Amino acid sequence: MSTRGKDRSVSDEELIQAIKRHPDPAVKSTELAEQLPLTSTRINELLKSLESEGILKKKSFGSANGWWVSRTQDLDR
Q: Domain 12-76 is of which CATH architecture?
A: Orthogonal Bundle (1.10)
For 27, 44, the CA distances from 48, given in Å and listed in that order, are 13, 6
pLDDT in tens, 49-58: 999 999 999 9
Cite the beta strand spans of 1-77 per DSSP E: 56-61, 64-69
The ranges assigned to domains in the chain are 12-76
pLDDT in tens, 12-71: 999 999 999 999 999 999 999 999 999 999 999 999 999 999 999 999 989 999 999 998
- pLDDT at position 3 over 60: no
pLDDT at residue 71 in the model: 80
Output the pTM of the full model: 0.80
3 dihedral zone (left: phi>0; alpha: psi -120 to 50; beta): alpha
